[in-house]
Copies of this chain bind each other. A is one copy, B any other.
Amino acid sequence: MSKRSIVSLFFEPKSIAIVGSLSQEWFGGLAIYNNLKKLGYNGKIYLVNPAYNEIYGIKVYPSLTNIKDDIDLAIIITPAKIVPSIIKDCIKKGIKAVIIGSDGFADIGDEGKKLQDEVVEMAKEEGVRILGPNTVGVINTSNNFTTTTYRLEYNAFRRGGISIIGQTGMVGPQAYPYHELKFGISKVCDLGNKCDVDESDIIEYLGEDEDTKVIVLHIESIMDGRKFKRVVEKVIKKKPILVLKAGKTVESARAILSHTGALAGNYVLHHNIFKQLGLIEVDNLHEMIEIAKAFVSQPLPKGNNLAIITPAGGMGALTIDYAIASGLRLARFSQKTIKKLIKIHPAIAKNPIDLGYTFVRGIFPFREVITALNEDANVDCIFCIIWTPLWKLDKSYRETLREFKDKLSKPITFWVYGMDNKVIGKVRSEIEEAGYPVYLNIETAINALAALCKYSKIKTTK
C-alpha cells in the first residue's frame, strides 16, 4: 500500500474502529459513534472497550484483534499510557491508519514526548501512519465522516470546495459552524501534535482530491521544509493555498512548545518560504475560512484594479484605505463608463460610485452600473456595499445579481450593513444563496479580492 493511499484512509475509510471511553454522551467514543450515525456515514463502525460487552444494543469488542472484518482506520481515545498497547493491536490487526485523539503526549512535556516517540517508532517499523496525538481528527463531507470526539449540534455538513488543515482542534466541527457556511466545505484535518502525518501529507492528498478547490492551512511550524516545498510547488499550480502562521513571537512560540511539544520556528523564515512558494498569508482563523469563499465562488481577476460601489461616501473612503493596504489599486474608469455614469447622475461618475446621490432621488441604477463595470477593461474586480433598506427599496439588486451570476467575468465581494442584525443576516443570506460571497466587515471583503488577485498572478507565473 503506497503512502498516498494510507493518507486517503484517514478521510475515506470503509470501516473504522473506535477504541476507548464510552462513559459519556458528549465526549468520547459514544459521541463519535452517534455523530457518524446522525450524519449518515455508511461505513462499518466497531466499538472497542474491554469493560463493555455492549452499549445501547451495540456490540462492543474487548480488543481490536477480536474484530473479524478488515479495519481501514482506528481512532484511539484511551488514556495516553495504554496507547502503545493499542498500537500493538493495530499492527497485529493490519490497520494502517491510526488517529490518536488522546492528549498527554508531547503536549505535556518530556515524559509525554518519550511516550509519543515510542509509539511513533513502533508504527514506523510496520508502515502504520499516525495522525495526532492530541487531535480531533478529520471531516470528509463527501462520505459524511468525522472523527471529532465531541457531540455535534447539527445533523449534516454542507458540501463545498474548501478544505482546511489546522494545527488546532479549532478547525474541528465542534468548534466552527461549518453547516452554516453557505459555500460549504470538503475536508478538514486537525494535525494535533504531528508525530507522523504532517501538513505536507495532507496538502498532497488534497492536491489530488477532486472535491477540494482551495486549501487553507493553520500552521505553527513546518515539519519538513524540503517535503513542504516539493508538495506545495506541485499543488499551488492547481489550487490556491491560504496560510495562517501562529507562533509569530517568542512568547507564542514558547506556548506552542508547551501545548504540542513542537518548535514554532522563526516567523520571518516561514513568511519568506510562504512568499517564495506562492502561499497567501492571512491574519486570523475567521479570514482564513472567509477568504476561501471567494475562491470557490468567484472567477480569478486579470489584474488588481478595483471598482467600489457604495451608498455612502465615507464608506468609500475607508474602503480605499483597506484596498491600497492590501495591494489593490483604484480603477480608473474608461471614458465610455464615465459617460454612462454621467447619464445616470453626474455625482456618481467617479470611483467609488456613491449611490447615495441616486437613491434619495428615486434613481436605482444598480443594473446599469454592474453592466458598465463588467464591460470596462479598466476594472478587474468589484466591491459592493449594500444598505439593507436600499436592498428592500431597489428590486434591481436581486434581479441583477441573479442575471449576472454567469455573465459577470470579474470577482465581486459584498458587505452588508443596516440597522437590524436579523435583517442584515437575511440580506447576507440572500446574496450568498445567489452565489456571491458576503463578508462581516469591509477589510475581509477587500482582502478576499486581494487574495484572488495574488493567486491569479501566482498561477500565471509559477
Contact = CB atoms under 8 A, between A and B. Distances in A.
A249 interface: yes
A370 interface: no
Best-surrounded residue of A151, A260, A315, A325 (most CB of chain B within 10 A): A315
Nearest to A190: B314
How many copies, total?
2
Interface string A132-172: 00000000000000000011111000000000001111100
B389 A174 contact: yes
Contact of A252 (B150, B318, B356): B318
Contacts of A108: 346-347
A107 B313 contact: yes
A442 B284 contact: yes
Interface string A435-451: 00000111100000000
A10 B54 CA distance: 75
Contacts of A174: 387, 389, 418-419
Contacts of A380: none
Interface in A280-299: 283-286
A321 interface: yes
Contacts of A389: 26, 150-151, 153, 174
Interface string A352-382: 1010110010000000000000000000000
Contact of A320 (B27, B169, B251): B251
A180 B421 CA distance: 8
Interface string A246-257: 111101100110
A321 B247 contact: yes
A321 B150 CA distance: 28
A406 interface: no
In this complex, the interface size class of chain A, counting residues with CB under 8 Å from chain B, is 35 or more
Nearest to A260: B313
Given A27-B360, A393-B26, A251 B324 contact: yes
A345 to B, nearest CB: 10
A259 interface: yes
Contact of A317 (B252, B321, B346): B252
A417 interface: yes
A224 interface: no
A12 to B, nearest CB: 23
A321 B252 contact: yes
Contacts of A285: 318
A315 B153 contact: no
A320 B387 contact: no
B248 A321 contact: yes
Given A249-B321, A419-B174, A357 B103 contact: yes
B317 A350 contact: no
Contacts of A251: 320, 323-324, 329-330
Contacts of A151: 389
A320 B252 contact: yes
Best-surrounded residue of A252, A325, A393 (most CB of chain B within 10 A): A252
By Cβ-Cβ distance, the 5 closest A-B pairs, closest first, are A168-B314, A259-B313, A252-B320, A249-B324, A248-B321
23 contacts: A103-B356, A151-B389, A153-B418, A168-B312, A168-B315, A174-B418, A174-B419, A175-B417, A177-B418, A177-B420, A177-B421, A179-B420, A246-B317, A247-B317, A247-B321, A252-B317, A258-B350, A259-B313, A259-B314, A260-B313, A264-B317, A284-B318, A284-B442
Interface of A: 26-27, 103, 107-108, 150-154, 166-170, 173-180, 218, 220, 246-249, 251-252, 255-256, 258-260, 264, 283-286, 312-318, 320-321, 323-325, 329-330, 346-347, 350, 352, 354, 356-357, 360, 387, 389, 393, 417-421, 423-424, 440-443
